[in-house]
Amino acid sequence: MKDETPRKPFPVSWDQFHRDARALAWRLNGVGPFHALVAVTRGGLVPAAIIAREIGMRMIDTVCVASYNHTAQGELQVLKNVSDTVMKLGGGTGKGVLVVDDLVDTGKTARVVRNLLPDAHIAAIYAKPLGKPLVDTFITEVSQDTWIFFPWDTGLSFQPPIRDGAA
């Protein structure tokens, strides 16, 4: 699926991402209690590690969902569901389970997770308007036409000034 929609670039440094993940942890700290944390792979792995450290979570699992390549969102594939151990902790509904992702975009991934764990608390660092209603907690809202360049996807390189045609 090739998307020709122009995108506004939003590069995020490691420092900024770490600050944003800690800000999310601050918001989540008083929300629980949480019995388990589920990271949505792959993007949710880094914020989940930071949040788990900050709020003292030890029971950590993943739900493995593939929906992006490096430039566009494609067809959703659930590669691995949440473990039986975590499902039992949440009484089969996700109650007391914290789900963490880096971004909620269109909400397709969050919808799949919500169907698996209807009572889980879903949190993301960044939220776009279409996905925002599907998460319980987020830090920064960006426009739907923004493309976030996460620090693990980029390297240091020269960026031309906006006035010279950079988006």
Q: What is the spatial distance between Cα 87 and Cα 120, in angstroms, rounded to a whole number?
A: 10
Query: Taking Cα atoms as reference points, which of 133, 89, 87 lies closest to residue 110?
Result: 133
pLDDT score for 2: 53
Between 161 and 6, where is the model more confident?
A: 161
Between 144 and 162, where is the model more confident?
A: 144
> What is the average pLDDT across 45-65?
97
Set out the domains of the chain in order of their start, with CATH numbers: 8-151 (3.40.50.2020)
Q: What pairs with residue 141 in β-bridges?
A: 127
The enclosing H or E element of 47 equals helix 45-55
Mean pLDDT of the chain: 90
Beta-carbon count within 10 A of 17 CB: 20
pLDDT score for 68: 60
> What is the average pLDDT across 114-124?
96
Beta-carbon count within 10 A of 129 CB: 14
Report residue 162's pLDDT band, with 50, 70 and 90 as the boundaries. Answer: confident
**Catalytic positions:** 101-102, 105
> What is the average pLDDT across 131-149?
97
User: Would you say residue 167 has pLDDT above 70?
Assistant: no
Report residue 158's pLDDT band, with 50, 70 and 90 as the boundaries. Answer: confident
Report residue 153's pLDDT band, with 50, 70 and 90 as the boundaries. Answer: confident
Contact 18, 50 (CB under 8 A): yes
